[in-house]
């Protein structure tokens, strides 16, 4: 278990203490049965966990938050978002989640392509710029919303608000961004191009496919069990119900790619 900066540290400690995990320094990992990391990257500790073929729990940014975004996180075994594994939760009680808005008619409004930061680990090293160019070619009437991080701060005031953008959008086009899940919750038919997207199960995947509007009840229930706040008690029994399967995956070397598309290793990639 490796804490880092203060905001991340709070999440890692919350999850780790709930599971009874021990802490170790990044530079000197200790033997353990489960590794927990905040952020999707190969560190010395994670490379050591992969060499030992033990499960890794990856904590990442949430789709929604309970109170504040900095105090809420999502989790998965052995990978990031849709690239990771979580146990089934269909028989468990409901957890809080945003209300699902009725599906829009995908032809009733605008098509919006949502940008994503090229170095986002959820891109997994793919040439996202080329994919966006392809999307613009296949969908010539679509507008493009750049990711705010890539917009100079002096121009932020010129950007349309995210809520206004969703309000006029009736088809959202995404690669693996969490915006895909936000759009689905808002009732916007969505294209989610890769399985790393949490919206993948309730979205179409090809730019040429007809958009779909499936039932989202099971999807949002499962997503709610990926989201936890540092101010609530983690359902340890549920989390650990997936340990044996996560261990089996780890022993087969079935980890999501944490090297942003580069050769996985396991070896030390970045500190």
184-209 tens-digit pLDDT? 999 999 999 999 999 999 999 999 99
Distance between CA atoms of residues 77 and 85, nearest Å: 5
Which of 158-162, 204-208, 237-241 has the least mean pLDDT? 158-162
Would you place residue 268 in the very low, low, confident or very high pLDDT band (cuts 50, 70, 90)? very low
List, in order, residues 6 or more apart from 167 with CB less than 8 Å away: none
List, in order, residues 6 or more apart from 177 with CB less than 8 Å away: 114, 116, 120, 122, 147, 197
Cβ neighbours around 187 below 10 Å, total: 15
Would you place residue 28 in the very low, low, confident or very high pLDDT band (cuts 50, 70, 90)? low
| pLDDT, greater one: 7 or 253 | 253
**Predicted confidence (pLDDT) per residue in 89-130, tens digit:** 999 999 999 999 999 999 999 999 999 987 777 888 788 999
Span 130-158, average pLDDT: 84
Distance of CA 265 to the CA centre of its chain: 22
Most confident option among 31-40, 56-65, 214-223, 253-262: 214-223
Span 219-237, average pLDDT: 95
Q: What percent of the chain has pLDDT over 90?
A: 64
pLDDT given for residue 124 in this prediction: 82
Question: Would you say residue 29 has pLDDT above 70?
Answer: no
Q: Which two tokens stand for residue 198?
A: 């949490």
Which of 30-34, 59-63, 255-259 has the least mean pLDDT? 255-259
Distance between CA atoms of residues 261 and 37, nearest Å: 19
pLDDT given for residue 266 in this prediction: 46
Question: Would you say residue 26 has pLDDT above 80?
Answer: no
Distance between CA atoms of residues 59 and 37, nearest Å: 6
């Amino acid at each position: 278990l490796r804490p880092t900066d203060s905001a991340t540290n709070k999440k890692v400690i919350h999850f780790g203490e709930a599971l009874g995990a021990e802490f170790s320094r990044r530079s000197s990992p200790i033997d353990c049965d489960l590794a927990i990391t905040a952020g999707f990257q190969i560190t010395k500790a994670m490379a050591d966990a992969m060499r030992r073929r033990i499960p890794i729990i990856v904590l990442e940014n949430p789709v929604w938050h309970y109170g504040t975004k900095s105090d809420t996180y999502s989790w998965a075994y052995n990978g990031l978002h849709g690239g990771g594994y979580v146990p089934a939760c269909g028989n468990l009680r409901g957890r809080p989640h945003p209300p699902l808005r009725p599906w829009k008619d995908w032809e009733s409004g605008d098509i919006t392509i949502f940008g994503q930061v090229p170095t986002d680990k959820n891109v997994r090293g793919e040439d996202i710029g080329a994919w966006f160019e392809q999307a613009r070619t296949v969908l010539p009437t679509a507008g493009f919303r750049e990711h705010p991080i890539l917009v100079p701060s002096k121009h932020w005031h010129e950007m349309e608000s995210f809520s206004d953008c969703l309000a006029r959008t009736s088809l959202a086009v995404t690669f693996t961004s969490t915006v895909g899940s936000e759009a689905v919750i808002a009732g916007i038919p969505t294209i989610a191009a890769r399985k790393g997207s949490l919206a993948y199960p309730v979205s179409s995947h090809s730019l040429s496919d007809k958009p779909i509007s499936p039932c989202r009840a099971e999807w949002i229930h499962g997503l709610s069990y990926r989201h936890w706040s540092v101010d609530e008690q983690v359902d340890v029994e549920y989390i650990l119900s997936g340990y044996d399967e996560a261990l089996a995956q780890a022993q087969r070397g079935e980890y999501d790619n944490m090297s942003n598309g580069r050769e996985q290793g396991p070896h030390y990639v970045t500190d």
